[in-house]
Amino acid sequence: MRITVAGDIGSGKTTIARELANHAAAEMYSTGGIQRQLAAARGITTLDLNRLAETDPSIDDQIDSYLKNLPAGNLVVESRMAWRFVPGTKKIFLYVLKQAAAERILRANRQDESYSLLDDAVLQISERRKSEIKRFGKYYGVNIDDLRNYDRVIDTTYASPQAVVDRILKPDSLKERPGIWLNPRNLVATRGMRHVDQQRLLEIARRIAESGFLEDHPLDALYVDHTFFVADGHARFAAAVRLNLEYVPLRLLACEGEPYRAGLTARRFVEQAVNETMVRDWESAMGFRYPHPIWRIQPTGLQVPAKSLC
């Protein structure tokens, strides 16, 4: 078993990688630990180290050398770039809401992090993510936020480490890359609830409850500003939320500046389609409330060029 684990800050990469390694009695390697050691040796935070690495390539050279010289055989590697440097692996990306990641980091009280309040933690996580995307784009010509770099994207926001490990190891029939497994509570609709036939919704919920969510019929989704939006399959999305499913499969149609439909990019379509009133209508109909306004797109957030995949 050879698996590389990348993902969002605070998504549980090290924990999941360790559990995977224990399951297979494989060696576990982590470049996050190397980064923390390098930062500590310089007396700076990991965020400061990331910023320094934007102009000092020797930092990434040390990490790359470590990855390129890993042994053959079973292994699990937790690293931003192992998917590129370690051959013959199943490439996993762990996704988590920024707010949930911030809460985890605050609870962990890492000594090398300077977060004190939740809003500050969310901001610093966003800044670290931007710094890493900029750095790896500059040195390697890759976008580490491009989900199509990976075989599977797994949501860890609400799932236990064991549930995430089980989802990674369980074979599935998803055909397109990446195969995405997301908690439906982290999805946002792009059509009003009035467009969903309630009788059909009840029938879909009954079928899913009896037979499960069909893997060969994933929900179509857009990915904008670190949020997944339903492009098609709203009735099945609503049924999944009502049934409190842990995961639903997604097919990624477009993200950020990629063209989507009617001359609109994915980002522009979401900006036009989604509003707070519509979201509240969905919450009322499903008996559910988002803990954070994940549907609000930041107009000045990180912009991904139209020619790039995300």
Q: Does position 301 have pLDDT exceeding 80, yes or no?
A: no
Smallest Cα–Cα separation from 183: which of 280, 100, 73? Answer: 100
Q: List, in order, residues 6 or more apart from 175 with CB less than 8 Å away.
A: 216
Task: Determine the pLDDT at residue 115.
Answer: 61
Which tens digits make up the pLDDT trace of 172-211?
999 989 999 999 999 999 999 888 888 999 999 999 999 9
3-class state of residue 255 by DSSP = strand
Encoded tokens for 171: 């074979």
Which has the minimum average pLDDT: 137-141, 247-251, 265-269? Answer: 137-141
Confidence band of 116 (pLDDT split at 50, 70, 90): low
CA distances from 93 to 17, 112, 152, 156, 258 (A): 11, 24, 6, 10, 21
Q: How many CA atoms lie within 13 A of 191 on its CB side?
A: 16
Which of residues 64 and 181 earns the better pLDDT score? Answer: 181
pTM, 2 dp: 0.86
Task: Determine the pLDDT at residue 111.
Answer: 56
What does the alpha-carbon distance between residue 262 and residue 6 come to, in Å, rounded to a whole number?
Answer: 34
3-class state of residue 309 by DSSP = coil
Q: Which residue has the tokens 């069909």?
A: 214
Which of residues 264 and 298 earns the better pLDDT score? Answer: 264
CA distances from 76 to 88, 101, 105, 161 (A): 12, 22, 23, 15
What does the alpha-carbon distance between residue 155 and residue 11 come to, in Å, rounded to a whole number?
Answer: 8
Mean pLDDT, the chain, integer: 88
Which tens digits make up the pLDDT trace of 118-169?
778 788 888 888 888 888 888 889 888 899 999 999 999 999 999 999 999 9
Q: Does position 308 have pLDDT exceeding 50, yes or no?
A: no
Planar angle of CA 101, 104, 105, nearest 5 degrees = 90
Task: Determine the pLDDT at residue 307.
Answer: 42
Mean pLDDT of 270-284: 94
Query: What is the pairing mode between strands 179-182 and 248-255?
Result: antiparallel
Task: Determine the pLDDT at residue 240.
Answer: 96
What does the alpha-carbon distance between residue 154 and residue 95 come to, in Å, rounded to a whole number?
Answer: 6
Smallest Cα–Cα separation from 225: which of 118, 97, 54? Answer: 97
What does the alpha-carbon distance between residue 36 and residue 26 come to, in Å, rounded to a whole number?
Answer: 23
Which tens digits make up the pLDDT trace of 79-114?
888 899 888 999 999 999 988 888 887 777 665 556
Which of residues 306 and 115 earns the better pLDDT score? Answer: 115
Which of residues 57 and 244 earns the better pLDDT score? Answer: 244
The structural domains of the chain, ordered by start, are: 2-165 (3.40.50.300), 172-286 (3.90.1530.10)
